[in-house]
Amino acid sequence: GARLTSLTGRAPRGRARSHVRLDEFCFVQNDRQIYAATLPIISKGRRTLRIASSPFGTQGLFYEIYSEVLRPYPGYTRKRTPWWEIYAFCVNVREARIEAPFMPTEERVRRYGNERMQMLYDNMLLEDFGQEFECDFVGSGDAWITFEEIKRAQDHDLVYRRARCTGKSITNALNAIDRLADDLRQGKVEPILAGGIDVGRKKDTTEIFFVGLGGNGSMPLRLMISLANMEFEFQQEIIMYAMRSLPIVRLLIDQTGLGRNLAENVVKLWQYKTAGVNFTQAGKQMWASDLKKGIQTLAVRIPMERDLAYQLHSVKRVVRGTTLTFDVEQDSKEKGHGDMFWALALAVAAAKQFVFIGDGNMLGEGIVTYW
């Protein structure tokens, strides 16, 4: 007979002359130590080593062995098993094995995916779907939002207001708020707004973004205010003016580090409409994912602003070990540090806490999402 032994995620010892299976190897700690201890186990007799995993970025030993990107790893037979080769997901495996590899992802999902697979596709980011179901290794250095996605989301005819202020001069910001209020009265934009603020003081700018809440789930960008080297006293004055002048249902403010006092002051005055948020890794991952989904589905429309496009593109997904985080490439940090990205992401997060139920009414906070 045979004996099957399941081991913990540590380097195996004292298991000579055994077949070894390493499962989900992308996600184990100390993968190199485990691999080094495994090879002696299969050194005698006709023993085999099988390594399987879902991809997790272009890093780690599993990726190196599979892709041989750094050096050859001879002796392995490599096999990919995408969803269209699985009968539980695919309506016609025989045909899909021939045709699906040459199709764009959405086309093959619509043609060969069963109802469950199409539901999964509709609820995932394209990159995540590719990694989980199509054996794609998503590179860490890739821009989280590509220029192609940004270009599709840009609207040349979008009604929006833009202001840049420096030092103690806040007139441009107040005028932009007034013009947006006029747009609201004329019915040019949505009657309800949600906003996000990424706070800076000297090195980085403070970015104040507001999106409209459309009845069809749309969240077009309606107001962009950039504040450079401005004291918090004047930043707060602009925020207070916006809260008094515009129909804002929710405003999320970065309260990490420098922004804590500003966020606390605003929340005290508008506690039912505003909230401070901390930039934790979990929060950043959720906000970045929601923003990307909105861009991909065109729920979030943006103006043709070059600086905005560059900042949206500057944020990259970075995989460190088994942790996924987001950072800005070094040469972009002097051009805004991705502040616009996070201001828009917070505005989208604020908007997603509400949903229309008809006749301009809103369903309560945090119950339904747009997609």
Domain boundaries, the chain: 83-133, 147-363
For residues 44 and 268, the model is more confident at 268
For residue 15, name the pLDDT band (cuts at 50, 70, 90).
Answer: low
For residues 144 and 225, the model is more confident at 225
- Would you say the C-alpha torsion 363, 303, 308, 229 has a positive or negative sign? negative
Residue 187 predicted with pLDDT over 60: yes
pLDDT in tens, 285-323: 899 999 999 999 999 999 988 889 888 988 888 776 666
Q: Which residue has the tokens 């081991």?
A: 7
Residue 107 backbone dihedrals phi, psi, to 5 degrees: -65, -45
Flag whether the pTM goes above 0.75.
no
Rounded distance, CA 6 to CA 116, Å?
Answer: 31
pLDDT in tens, 81-135: 999 999 999 999 999 999 999 999 999 999 999 999 999 998 887 878 998 999 9
Rounded distance, CA 109 to CA 104, Å?
Answer: 9
Q: Which of 24-28, 79-83, 153-157, 347-351 has the lowest mean pLDDT?
A: 24-28
Q: What is the CA radius of gyration of the chain?
A: 25
Domain spanning 147-363: CATH 3.30.420.240: yes
For residues 285 and 204, the model is more confident at 285
Q: Which of 3-12, 266-275, 356-365 has the lowest mean pLDDT?
A: 356-365
What pLDDT, on a 0 to 100 scale, did the predictor assign at position 203? Answer: 63
What pLDDT, on a 0 to 100 scale, did the predictor assign at position 1? Answer: 60
Over residues 5-19, the mean pLDDT reads 71
- Look at phi and psi of residue 79 and say left if phi exceeds 0, alpha if psi is from -120 to 50, else beta: beta
pLDDT in tens, 160-170: 999 999 999 99
Mean pLDDT of the chain: 86
Over residues 277-290, the mean pLDDT reads 91
- Look at phi and psi of residue 336 and say left if phi exceeds 0, alpha if psi is from -120 to 50, else beta: left
What pLDDT, on a 0 to 100 scale, did the predictor assign at position 331? Answer: 46
Q: Write out the DSSP string of 51-102.
A: E-----SS-HHHHHHHH-SSS--TTPPP----GGG-TTTBS-HHHHHHHGGG
What pLDDT, on a 0 to 100 scale, did the predictor assign at position 202? Answer: 58
**3 state SS of 4:** coil
